[in-house]
Amino acid sequence: MSTTEPAIALSGLRKTFGAVEAVAGIDLEIADGEFFSMLGPSGSGKTTVLRMIAGFELPTAGTVWLSGRDVTRQAPYERDVNTVFQDYALFPHLSVLENVEYGLKVRKVARRERRARAEAALESVRLPGFGGRKPSAMSGGQRQRVALARALVNRPRVLLLDEPLGALDLKLREQMQVELKQIQRDVGITFVFVTHDQDEALTMSDRVAVFDSGRIAQVGTPEEVYEHPATPFVAGFVGTSNLLRGDAARQLIGREGTFSVRPEKIELTEGAGNGTVAEVIYAGPVTRFVVDLDAGARMVVVEQNRRTGKSTLSQMRGKRVQLTWQDEHVIEIGVNHAS
Amino acid sequence: MSFLHRHPRLRLAALLSAPMLWLVVAYLGALAVLLVSAFWAVNGFTGEVVREFTLQNFRTIVTEEVYRNVTLRSLGVAVAVTVICVLLALPMAFYMAKVASPRARGWLVIAILTPLWASYLVKAYAWRVLLANDGPLDSLIGTPGYGLVAVVIVLSYLWLPYMILPIYAGLERLPDSMLEASADLGARAGRTFRGVVLPILVPSIFAGSIFTFSLSLGDYITVQIVGGKTQLIGNLVYANVGAANNLPFAAAIACIPVLIMVIYLTAVRRSGALEEL
């Protein structure tokens, strides 16, 4: 890490709601200009951490630093961060342009500059000429972009995004993923992106933090997190885990420990073998086979549907198959090979 | 059943005929009778209603100063009551909708609804006792005594729930993220209130004001109980129906608040506030 202050630093961050410990001690540094994702199931504490960075929640314990400044006790309006909300939270009584201008108006930016910057922001999210509309007259994807423009126009040091793509349909989601990444590269500010969608986190981020019950289970590049999960939870949440432990590990790997092989790394051949096909799921470009190994583990195998006319797919159920994989694709969980 | 299913117009007619009948006969009918009889007169000797068209009643109302004064006074009371109710209801509704715990919220809603179940007369007389010279209020902070101020105070108390409830409902619909977004964009609480909460609540406030305004404009009982010598439009109507036995003139006076309400509702409609309800 370089000598400059991290954009965000969290230390010993905890938050309890009554008897529930939502965030159970988080230490984290996010570098300037990084696209950082917080990935985890609902209730894992990722949104609460985001809300503490924004200032909507006061931590029960711990400290939040923004660019080296302790902001733990500061109000949201005193922090140099802006948020894109899950429900967008656009002001219904204001036009799109007035929505985007809001932050500048509050900070008393002169009218002409305000207008120019708001229009430029709308252009950067590819909504030029939409300023006069009311948010209610726009589609979900358009509102999402207005929310983005409304946050970006203030040129914050950090942009926080709380599951911003959650309400969009799949096609639009994929399109917005690419656009968000592009916008982040253009403006060059730190993005902190909360999501429960592993694909989203893996495709967009420079680094990912995987949240598990109020703690960070692992922080790393998407590749590190996917190829070398630190815990069984990470292996299971990011991709399909295919865990081998106990007897199955001894028989198939030949060692004690917990191991995982990703579904796309496994070769499946018909004939007398080491397992039985329990389920076949056709999914367009790929087919998923669920195989019960004789050694006592259930594995998922993903195969590209390159061989069309393998008309007997459904007849595969119950067939004996041989699963093989290369040693280098066996992940020993809890051992980080990368660093 | 399938017959009605295949004839949607008939289905609609069956559904709406009863309420339409009620609306047209009982509601609009009564208003029509009021309007028509306002143009009749009373025979000065026999006291019988003369069913002949005349503008005399309205001429009297426009030309005699006392009616203009009473109208302006009633209007002033209605505006004052509405403003006081808005000022009291905003923080109370905000506390209920955004600050209080769900449990406390339930109790607060009950606390606001229960007074509506108590008799209007009992509440008005309770205030008569409170406001009396040497009464409880007098010994604590002093009393304005019976009169116009007392009328405004008691009416504000009586109609406050009708203002709190629509504002509370409006705030319930306002997502918390809207307030957070405003703070996130640099606005302090006061700025958020003026820039976001208040504009979004305008339809709710208008809805509440229609209650407080029209109920105040037509009230005559509270005025009799705590108003001292004060007279409002309602009292003039009451006096002309009873003591003066001049039903046509009472009807003509009753047209004043109807006219005021029509003007008010048109203005509200023009402002566009009702479209966002």
Tens digit of pLDDT for each residue in A53-85? Answer: 999 999 999 999 999 999 999 999 999 999 999
> Quick check: A24 pLDDT over 90?
yes
CB-closest option in A77, A87, A92 to B183: A77
Chain B nearest C-alpha distance from A106 (Å): 6
Decide: B216 and B82 in contact? Cβ < 8 Å.
yes
Contacts A150 to B, Cβ<8 Å: 185
Least confident of A9-13, B42-46, B166-170, B247-251: B42-46
Position A337 scores a pLDDT of 47
| Beta carbons of B187 and A106 less than 8 Å apart | yes
Position A338 scores a pLDDT of 42
Using one digit for the tens of pLDDT, what is the confidence trace for B104-151? 999 999 999 998 888 999 999 999 999 998 888 888 888 888 999 999
Q: Are strands A8-17 and A61-66 parallel, antiparallel or unpaired?
A: antiparallel
Chain A nearest C-alpha distance from B270 (Å): 16
Decide: A295 and A252 in contact? Cβ < 8 Å.
yes
> Quick check: A276 pLDDT over 80?
yes
The more confident residue out of B242 and B202 is: B202
Position A312 scores a pLDDT of 67
- Overall average pLDDT of the B222-244 stretch: 89
pLDDT range class, residue B253, cuts 50, 70, 90: very high
> What is the spatial distance between Cα A40 and Cα A50, in angstroms, rounded to a whole number?
13
Would you call A159 an interface residue with chain B, using a CB distance cutoff of 8 Å? no
Q: Which residues of B touch A (CB under 8 A)?
A: 175, 177-178, 180-188, 191, 195-196, 199-200, 202, 276
CB-closest option in A56, A86, A107 to B186: A107
Using one digit for the tens of pLDDT, what is the confidence trace for A115-127? 999 999 999 888 9
CB-closest option in A91, A150, A154 to B178: A91
Position B273 scores a pLDDT of 63
Per-residue burial over B231-269, b = 16 or more CB atoms within 10 Å of its CB, e = otherwise:
bbbbbbbbbbbeeeebbbbbbbbbbbbbebbeebeeebe
Tell me the sheet residues that pair with A39: A195, A210
Contacts of A163 (CB under 8 A, 6+ apart): A47, A86, A194, A195, A196
Q: Which two tokens stand for residue A275?
A: 């397992």
> What is the spatial distance between Cα A206 and Cα A200, in angstroms, rounded to a whole number?
12
Position B260 scores a pLDDT of 93
Alpha helices in A153-307 (DSSP H): 170-187, 198-204, 222-227, 232-237, 246-252
| Beta carbons of B186 and A89 less than 8 Å apart | no
> What is the spatial distance between Cα A282 and Cα A213, in angstroms, rounded to a whole number?
33
| Beta carbons of A92 and B175 less than 8 Å apart | no
> What is the spatial distance between Cα B59 and Cα B179, in angstroms, rounded to a whole number?
54
Domain annotation for chain A: domains and CATH numbers: 8-236 (3.40.50.300), 242-332 (2.40.50.140)
Would you call A102 an interface residue with chain B, using a CB distance cutoff of 8 Å? yes
Chain B nearest C-alpha distance from A12 (Å): 24
First vs last C-alpha separation in chain A: 14
pLDDT range class, residue A2, cuts 50, 70, 90: very low
| Beta carbons of B188 and A87 less than 8 Å apart | no
Q: Which of A53, A56, A194 has the most B C-beta neighbours within 10 Å, making it the best mutation to test the interface with B?
A: A56
Using one digit for the tens of pLDDT, what is the confidence trace for B57-80? 899 998 999 999 999 999 999 999
> Quick check: A314 pLDDT over 90?
no
Would you call A52 an interface residue with chain B, using a CB distance cutoff of 8 Å? no
Which residue of chain A is at minimal alpha-carbon distance from B200?
A93
| Beta carbons of A106 and B196 less than 8 Å apart | no
Q: Which DSSP helix (H) or strand (E) runs through B236?
A: helix B233-241
Query: Taking all residues of chain A, what is their mean pLDDT, rounded to a whole number?
Result: 89
Portion of chain A with pLDDT greater than 90, in percent: 58
Contacts B175 to A, Cβ<8 Å: 87, 89
Using one digit for the tens of pLDDT, what is the confidence trace for B174-193? 999 999 999 999 999 999 99
pLDDT range class, residue A246, cuts 50, 70, 90: confident
Of B222, B96, B220, the closest CA to residue B156 belongs to: B222
- Overall average pLDDT of the A39-60 stretch: 95
Using one digit for the tens of pLDDT, what is the confidence trace for B47-58? 788 888 888 889
> Quick check: B240 pLDDT over 70?
yes
- Overall average pLDDT of the A146-169 stretch: 92
Decide: A225 and A234 in contact? Cβ < 8 Å.
yes
- Overall average pLDDT of the B77-90 stretch: 97
CB-closest option in B186, B191, B196 to A91: B196
Position A336 scores a pLDDT of 52
Using one digit for the tens of pLDDT, what is the confidence trace for A161-172? 999 988 788 888
Position A311 scores a pLDDT of 54
CB-closest option in A56, A91, A150 to B180: A56
Domain annotation for chain B: domains and CATH numbers: 2-37 (no CATH), 66-276 (1.10.3720.10)
| Beta carbons of A103 and B186 less than 8 Å apart | yes
| Beta carbons of B180 and A103 less than 8 Å apart | no
- Overall average pLDDT of the A189-193 stretch: 95
CB-closest option in B184, B186, B200 to A93: B200
Position A307 scores a pLDDT of 62
Query: Taking all residues of chain B, what is their mean pLDDT, rounded to a whole number?
Result: 90
Contacts A77 to B, Cβ<8 Å: 183-188
> What is the spatial distance between Cα B221 and Cα B246, in angstroms, rounded to a whole number?
20
| Beta carbons of A85 and B180 less than 8 Å apart | yes
Q: Which amino acid is at A220?
A: G
Position B275 scores a pLDDT of 60
- Overall average pLDDT of the A239-251 stretch: 83
> What is the spatial distance between Cα B164 and Cα B162, in angstroms, rounded to a whole number?
6
